[in-house]
Amino acid sequence: MFSSENSQHLTNWYTFGHINHGLLFFGLFWLIARIRGLDWRLLAVGVTGLLWEVGENTDLVINRFREVTISLDYYGDSVINSVADSIFMVLGFLIAARVPVWATVVLVLGTEVLTTAVVRDGLALNTLMLIYPIDAVRDWQRAGWVH
């Protein structure tokens, strides 16, 4: 679960975060571009996902993950994982386009609770730790590692 090989597989616990990215970006792009069609927003979320995957695999971001998150031995995603992450982000967007807002909220909150409970990480915690690392959070996350 906490292996350095985690980001080398097609899916992992962070797959939920990529789906949530798509769900949340659907809402963001709906607010920004209500007038434009779904095609424009889908393209925007696809490009955003690809840009994140490229950026996530730069030395700058990899080193940031190692410095401030529980991913001490993270060395980047495999190509298959990056492609799958982008596809899951688009899948999240497409789900949000077809279900009621309340279902999107339940899905995001549910997967965040699940990943936080099982692996002590998720989109919210990962984002928090990248932007504003908190020692107490990192200590709590490390206490859950199975050695």
pTM for the complete prediction?
0.88
Residue 54 pLDDT exceeds 80: yes
Provide mean pLDDT across the span 52-81.
87
Structural contact between residues 126 and 17, judged by C-beta atoms closer than 8 angstroms: yes
Q: 34: pLDDT confidence band, cut at 50, 70 and 90? A: confident
Residue 1 pLDDT exceeds 60: no
Provide mean pLDDT across the span 62-78.
84
- Which tokens hold the place of 18? 């990529």
Rg (CA), the chain: 15
Maximal C-alpha separation, the chain = 52
Residue 147 pLDDT exceeds 60: no
Rounded to 5°, the CA angle 115-145-52 comes to 50
Higher-pLDDT residue of 30 and 9 is: 30
Concatenated DSSP letters of 45-77: HHHHHHHHHHHHTSHHHHHHHHHHSS-TT----
Q: What pLDDT sits at residue 7? A: 66
Higher-pLDDT residue of 34 and 45 is: 45
Residue 72 pLDDT exceeds 70: yes
